[in-house]
Chain A
Amino acid sequence: MSLLELKNISKIYGELKALDNVSLHVDQGEWVAIMGPSGSGKSTMMNIIGCMDKPTKGEVLLDGVDLSKESSKKLTDIRRDKIGLIFQQFHMVNYLTAVENVMVSQYYHSLPDEKEALEALGRVGLRDRARHLPSQLSGGEQQRVCVARALINHPELILADEPTGNLDEANENIVLDLFAQLHREGTTLIVVTHDPEVAEAAQRTIVLEHGRVAREVVNENFGK
């Protein structure tokens, strides 16, 4: 069953075509990687899927709702309810502790629940680091907090932008293992990366070049 469908979308900034007539289909529960060099349109695509931008042309269907027609207020609601975001720069609120950062996500979504937030941190192996401020956590730990924050509201889609870009290999593996776990639980994952190893962990890789889908690779070794 299709969760996300991009139909012939273009994003044009003046002369520049950041995205040029791109179509993409992601099924419920699928783990997809999006690759491409800088300027290939990855970020623009990510913004559109993440309900933070609208295409100039074309339709974006998330769970059957056309995002290109919605107001930005409605897009905020959809992002909050359906999407968990993970960023390259970890992006934590620097004056809140790990558990409070997770609770911020709950706060905007529904109700803060410290117990549940602590459980989510436990799941990423940071139960004992819950009361630490971001400055007291390593990069890998911060990214794991962001994963916990992304999954706390049980989103249908987790959208990760270079989630391992700033991590060492050990932490990269921890994060990829977490993604695999989420995948097994049925969460749909879209991971933007330029690291082939990260892309290989996904079921399918979409390669963007010059705003177009250059090719699509299905990972034969997935799950092995």
Chain B
Amino acid sequence: MTKRRMSLRMITASLLRRRSRMLIALLSIGIGATILAGLVTIYVDVPRQMGAQFRSYGANMLILPKEGGELNDANLQDALQVIPGDALVGAAPYRYVRLDMTSRQQSFTAAGTDFSQIAKTSPYFSVEGRYPENTREILVGKEIADTIGVKLGSTMELTWQPAASQEGASSDGEDAPVDTLSGSAEGFGGGAVYVTVEVDESGAIASLSVDASTQTPEFGGQVPKDEAFLSQFIGMTPPVSEEDIDAVSGATITSEAVVKAVNGARKTSAPTQPRTVIFSVTGILTTGGEEEGYLFLSLEDMEAMTGSNQLDVAELSVSASADQLEGYVNAISEGSEGVQARLVKRVARSEAAVLEKLTALVFLVTLVVLLLTMICVSTTMMAVVSERRREIGLRKALGASDGSIRAEFLGEGLFLGLLGGVMGGILGFVFAQVVSVNVFGSSITFQPLLLPAAVVVSMAIAALSCLLPIRRAVAIDPALVLKGE
């Protein structure tokens, strides 16, 4: 039999036949290893866990048009390709305009957006009622709602005023041979009637469409559908005389407004005419922030009113580390012609700060547990040594050198470390899983490297903890066995 096999036999016998004491040592290493492995797992997983948590505090990245560039849905979607699907929590596009509420002679900032994305990028938005789902529905900030006294189900008549007014548009109107013109006129009850006119090379009307949504639905509202009425305009060259047009019965004022609007129609790429839409309020928004002073409507309505699909900004909520975020920002800004990305520094930085503190805390706790485990194992091994004083004395009397006493105790320590490490690696994962589910509400994936790491660390801890007890063991005088102690 080799010496190694004999020493292995002695160590296993010592562990198996002196169960209770060794069980305590094993437990202290095992529990230490469990907590350590668990903490390390959490430590590694914290950024991911917290990243998901942080996403509930709102967007951490913005996509903006570059100087002279333009942001629209197409190049926004291109830019979003850079970010992996599972990292992109949501991307809410925004277009901000001022809308007038003529009835109160007030104007408000209105944001056109995609409501399905808002719930993802701004989960803290609290809506009384519901988000708008159809066109001509509007979400009103609490502040505005309180000021003007609108409630769920109220209507708001809002008007968009083109920034650069008509003088530029009128000169354009006469040059082009084939054109689309648009115009508006006051109809019944002060509501605006909009027309879109296509003219041929001679300036004759080729087609006409009417938007009379501000008019009484049963009367003026029927005008756009009245083919007989609309067909009268085809072939005429504006200005059209009111006498040449038979008004829709019951909707005389609206019909007259159509004539006026056609006569006043101008060629534009964007409407040059103010447009008024009546919205119904589906929700009141409470955020505790500046959003309460905004109106929110769908991008479709926004485009219909302003005639443009440009966006001002897109707010993105991306679940990623600070480095990854930086990478996405650079990739988007470099990869796209018209748009650039920016981090919301306030959110990104405070996330980083919280993460840093949290990881520092876990690290500190890990260190304390490490120390406690070492003290516990060391004390147990110390007790083991004094319990085995006679045996150690006997071994020395039988010729054991200091080196072989050291090797035996170290061997036992390492063996305990090995068992404790395996136990800790497995239980630690369970521990981390329980913590993760209870604290963060999400499960973690098993790191295969955890098991060998736990084993190596436990063996190192066990070996270190054995140093002092081993010194004491080596100092035992073999003569004590003769004294009949």
Q: Which residue of B lies closest to A93 (CB)?
A: B391
| Proximity bits, B221-237, A CB within 8 Å = 1, else 0 | 00000000000000000
- Bound complex: CA of A95 vs CA of B408, how far in Å? 14
In the assembled complex, which residues on chain B have CB atoms less than 8 Å from the CB atom of A46? 482
- Bound complex: CA of A108 vs CA of B5, how far in Å? 13
Contact in complex: A105, B399 (CB < 8 Å)? yes
A73 at the interface (CB under 8 A from B): yes
From A91, A93, A109, A112, contact of B399 by CB (8 A): A109
B241 at the interface (CB under 8 A from A): no
A85 at the interface (CB under 8 A from B): yes
Q: Which residue of A lies closest to B478 (CB)?
A: A52
Interface 9-mer from B9-17, B56-64, B251-259:
B9-17
Contact in complex: B484, A95 (CB < 8 Å)? no
Interface residues of B in 1-22 (CB under 8 A from A): 1-3, 5-7, 9-10, 13-14, 17-18
Contact in complex: A104, B10 (CB < 8 Å)? yes
In the assembled complex, which residues on chain B have CB atoms less than 8 Å from the CB atom of A88? 484
From A87, A107, A133, contact of B6 by CB (8 A): A107
A161 at the interface (CB under 8 A from B): yes
Contact in complex: B3, A107 (CB < 8 Å)? yes
A111 at the interface (CB under 8 A from B): yes
Contact in complex: B479, A52 (CB < 8 Å)? yes
Contact in complex: B399, A53 (CB < 8 Å)? no
Contact in complex: B14, A79 (CB < 8 Å)? no
Contact in complex: B2, A87 (CB < 8 Å)? no
In the assembled complex, which residues on chain A have CB atoms less than 8 Å from the CB atom of B17? 95-96, 133
In the assembled complex, which residues on chain B have CB atoms less than 8 Å from the CB atom of A91? 390, 394, 397, 481
In the assembled complex, which residues on chain B have CB atoms less than 8 Å from the CB atom of A108? 395, 398-401, 404
A96-B10 in contact given A76-B401, A80-B398, A111-B1 (Cβ < 8 Å):
yes
B303 at the interface (CB under 8 A from A): no
Contact in complex: B397, A85 (CB < 8 Å)? yes
Chain B interface residue count: which class? Answer: 20 to 34
Contact in complex: B396, A96 (CB < 8 Å)? no
- Bound complex: CA of A100 vs CA of B5, how far in Å? 12
Chain A interface residue count: which class? Answer: 35 or more
Contact in complex: B399, A80 (CB < 8 Å)? yes
A113 at the interface (CB under 8 A from B): yes
Contact in complex: A87, B481 (CB < 8 Å)? yes
Best-surrounded residue of A76, A80, A109, A113 (most CB of chain B within 10 A): A76
In the assembled complex, which residues on chain A have CB atoms less than 8 Å from the CB atom of B2? 111-112
Contact in complex: B398, A95 (CB < 8 Å)? no
Contact in complex: B401, A73 (CB < 8 Å)? yes
B104 at the interface (CB under 8 A from A): no
B172 at the interface (CB under 8 A from A): no
Contact in complex: B398, A112 (CB < 8 Å)? no
In the assembled complex, which residues on chain A have CB atoms less than 8 Å from the CB atom of B483? 43
Contact in complex: A76, B399 (CB < 8 Å)? yes
Give the shortest distance, in Å, between A118 (CB) and chain B (any CB). 12
B477 at the interface (CB under 8 A from A): yes
- Bound complex: CA of A80 vs CA of B483, how far in Å? 19
Contact in complex: B397, A100 (CB < 8 Å)? no
Best-surrounded residue of B13, B396, B399 (most CB of chain A within 10 A): B399
Contact in complex: A95, B6 (CB < 8 Å)? no
- Bound complex: CA of A113 vs CA of B3, how far in Å? 10
- Bound complex: CA of A133 vs CA of B13, how far in Å? 11
Contact in complex: B1, A113 (CB < 8 Å)? yes
| Proximity bits, B388-429, A CB within 8 Å = 1, else 0 | 001100111111111010000000000000000000000000
Give the shortest distance, in Å, between B172 (CB) and chain A (any CB). 103
A221 at the interface (CB under 8 A from B): no
Interface residues of A in 71-102 (CB under 8 A from B): 73, 76-77, 79-81, 85, 87-89, 91-96, 100
Give the shortest distance, in Å, between A157 (CB) and chain B (any CB). 13
Q: Which residue of B lies closest to A46 (CB)?
A: B482
Q: Which residue of A lies closest to B390 (CB)?
A: A91
A47 at the interface (CB under 8 A from B): yes
Contact in complex: B3, A112 (CB < 8 Å)? yes
- Bound complex: CA of A149 vs CA of B402, how far in Å? 21
A114 at the interface (CB under 8 A from B): yes
| Proximity bits, A18-42, B CB within 8 Å = 1, else 0 | 0000000000000000000000000
In the assembled complex, which residues on chain B have CB atoms less than 8 Å from the CB atom of A94? 391
Interface residues of B in 449-485 (CB under 8 A from A): 477-479, 481-485
Contact in complex: A112, B482 (CB < 8 Å)? no
Contact in complex: A89, B1 (CB < 8 Å)? no
- Bound complex: CA of A85 vs CA of B400, how far in Å? 13
Give the shortest distance, in Å, between A70 (CB) and chain B (any CB). 14
Give the shortest distance, in Å, between A51 (CB) and chain B (any CB). 9
In the assembled complex, which residues on chain B have CB atoms less than 8 Å from the CB atom of A93? 10, 391, 394-395
From B6, B402, B478, B485, contact of A103 by CB (8 A): B6
Give the shortest distance, in Å, between A145 (CB) and chain B (any CB). 12
Give the shortest distance, in Å, between B334 (CB) and chain A (any CB). 70
- Bound complex: CA of A133 vs CA of B390, how far in Å? 17
| Proximity bits, A150-170, B CB within 8 Å = 1, else 0 | 000000000001100000000
A211 at the interface (CB under 8 A from B): no
In the assembled complex, which residues on chain A have CB atoms less than 8 Å from the CB atom of B14? 95
- Bound complex: CA of A191 vs CA of B84, how far in Å? 86
A100-B479 in contact given A91-B390, A95-B17, A113-B1 (Cβ < 8 Å):
no
- Bound complex: CA of A65 vs CA of B112, how far in Å? 103
Would you give 28 A-B contacts (Cβ < 8 Å), ordered by A?
Answer: A43-B482, A43-B483, A50-B397, A52-B477, A52-B482, A73-B401, A77-B399, A77-B401, A79-B399, A85-B398, A87-B482, A87-B484, A89-B481, A89-B485, A91-B394, A93-B394, A95-B13, A96-B13, A100-B10, A100-B13, A103-B6, A104-B398, A108-B401, A111-B3, A112-B2, A112-B5, A133-B17, A161-B482
Q: Which residues of B contact A (CB under 8 A)?
A: 1-3, 5-7, 9-10, 13-14, 17-18, 390-391, 394-402, 404, 477-479, 481-485
The list of the 4 closest CB pairs from A to B, nearest first, reads: A80-B399, A95-B17, A108-B399, A112-B6
